Structure 1
Amino acid sequence: MPVRKIGLCRRSVGGRVPRGGGRRGIDVESTLERDFVLLQRFDPAVADIEERPVRIPLFRLDGRAGHYVPDFLVTYRDPARPPRLVEVKHSDDPALLAGELEARLAAARAHASDRGWRFDLVTEREIRIPRLDAAKFLLPYRDRAVGPELRDRLLALAAKPRATVATLRDAAAADLMARAQILPDIWTLVARRELLADLDCPLSLATRLHPPTGGPPWPPA
């Protein structure tokens, strides 16, 4: 559970990112934090993400004791991959540019190192990337169900050379009405990585698709 609750956000847009499956959503204090969480949810390597995970003791410049609470702790499915403690900031944040956060960041690095974790300061340069657009588009599809017969047919069609979203839709549909009904099922399989696409390029009907060569899809983070 978070060690600090998010209060009223006067200078940014706070909210909660849903996770589905009856699980508690993830509270965020800005749209940049929201986008970071969406990227983590979309990453199949991520097992979980926790907001405001630890309170780190900190001594201020005036000698008074305080504390610092980083934004997130990201854990991974591979047990050999260390958890990542993360602070999310805009690269033009005045406090960051003025060096006023150095004591906090140093304390977070030491805290993470003592536990075998990593600590990263993450900005919009790592967050606002093309894959974020794919995450925002596909995540709402990920919890849908696709019938097993249609799923098998779509996977077989995707194994053909130069398969695209449009060719799968047209080959699997009997009429124009069916096209509209099948398209969400195709995006669901892409969202669950049962059909693979280049997620660093804009998604469209011309997006190339192919079935994976590995194991089953991952459980959602």
Structure 2
Amino acid sequence: MARLASGAPVRTFRVKKRGVTGKVQLSEGGRLRSESTLERDLIITLDFHSDVRAVIEQPVRIDYEHEGQRRRFTPDVLAEFDAVGGHAPRIVLYEVKFHQELQERWGELRPRFKAATHYCRQRGWRFKLMTERQIRTPFLKNAQFLRGYLGIRDDPVTRGQLLYMFRALGPTTPQALLAAAYWDEQSQMKALPYLWQMVAERVVGVDLHQPLTMASTIWMD
């Protein structure tokens, strides 16, 4: 889960078209501010990715020149990903826009995106433009659902029972696991939040890029 990296936003927050300002609680503590529901959804997605180590809101201001005039561009979010195979941590600078807005304002927006791409290449980063088509996916819905179980009170007895049965069954489904672990429906329903907690913690694996249901295949991570 992501943590809040140090550093204040480089500009004052404002309300964008189609946007609402708000704060997103991160799993590891701290809050990030967002200027739109789409930016909020990107932060939730990044926070729930297991390989994202830090997230910063509006981290840099990019100065560039276009048509003889000095301009400024402040991308929305920066994410730092875990290092893989001895390489340095991967850093991605994100800008979010609704697809329709991109179509309507592409001529105006393109120079700032070009400047951001150049800025990132100079630093070994990556610039990524995201719309609702890349953000509002089954992964986001699963993240929104599972994040609520990260803070529930721990129950070692119930978790131990589920893990014991899991080892006996191997890959299974939430429905089958609960039915094998408990005879009565009331006990199954009481245990279900702790199963979702283990999924959210990545103790139990599942394909988070597919809709999460009681019939989803789950396995021990």
Give the equivalent residue in structure 2 for 1:67: 72
Partner secondary structure for residue 67 of structure 1: strand
Aligned ranges for residues 1-221 of structure 1 at < 5 Å? 1-9=8-16, 11-21=18-28, 23-61=29-67, 63-78=68-83, 80-94=88-102, 97-159=105-167, 160-161=169-170, 163-173=172-182, 175-212=184-221
Q: Equivalents in 2 of 1:29, 1:8: separation in Å? A: 6
Q: Equivalents in 2 of 1:179, 1:110: separation in Å? A: 54
Q: Equivalents in 1 of 2:190, 2:201: separation in Å? A: 18
Unmatched tracts of structure 2, length 5 or more: 1-7
Structure 1 stretch displaced more, 72-81 or 126-135: 72-81
Q: Equivalents in 1 of 2:100, 2:166: separation in Å? A: 44
Q: In 2 relative to 1, CA 126–10 (structure 1 residues): closer, same or farther, beyond 3 Å?
A: closer
Partner secondary structure for residue 98 of structure 1: helix
Unmatched tracts of structure 1, length 5 or more: 213-221
Q: Equivalents in 2 of 1:94, 1:83: separation in Å? A: 24
- Cα deviations by residue, 1:136-177 (Å, 9 ceiling, x for unpaired): 111111233433343233123223145211222233335433
Kindly report structure 1 stretches of 4+ aligned residues shifted beyond 6 Å.
none
Which of the pair is proportionally richer in strand? Answer: 2
Give the equivalent residue in structure 2 for 1:217: none
Partner secondary structure for residue 204 of structure 1: coil
Q: Equivalents in 2 of 1:184, 1:129: separation in Å? A: 23
- Cα deviations by residue, 1:163-218 (Å, 9 ceiling, x for unpaired): 21122223333543322211100000011111111222222222222101xxxxxx
Q: Equivalents in 2 of 1:128, 1:20: separation in Å? A: 19
- How many pairs are equivalent? 210
Q: In 2 relative to 1, CA 49–96 (structure 1 residues): closer, same or farther, beyond 3 Å?
A: farther
Give the CA RMSD over aligned residues. Answer: 2.1
TM-score, with length taken from structure 2 = 0.85
Say whether the 8 Å CA contact 1:72–1:85 is kept in structure 2: yes
Q: In 2 relative to 1, CA 77–145 (structure 1 residues): closer, same or farther, beyond 3 Å?
A: farther
Q: Equivalents in 1 of 2:150, 2:53: separation in Å? A: 16
Percent of aligned positions with the same letter in both sequences? 35
- Please report how far the alpha carbon of residue 127 of structure 1 lies from its aligned counterpart in structure 2 after TM superposition: 1.0
Partner secondary structure for residue 65 of structure 1: strand
Which of the pair is proportionally richer in helix? Answer: 2
- Cα deviations by residue, 1:111-147 (Å, 9 ceiling, x for unpaired): 1111111111112221122211111111111233433
Q: Equivalents in 2 of 1:147, 1:102: separation in Å? A: 52
Partner secondary structure for residue 83 of structure 1: strand
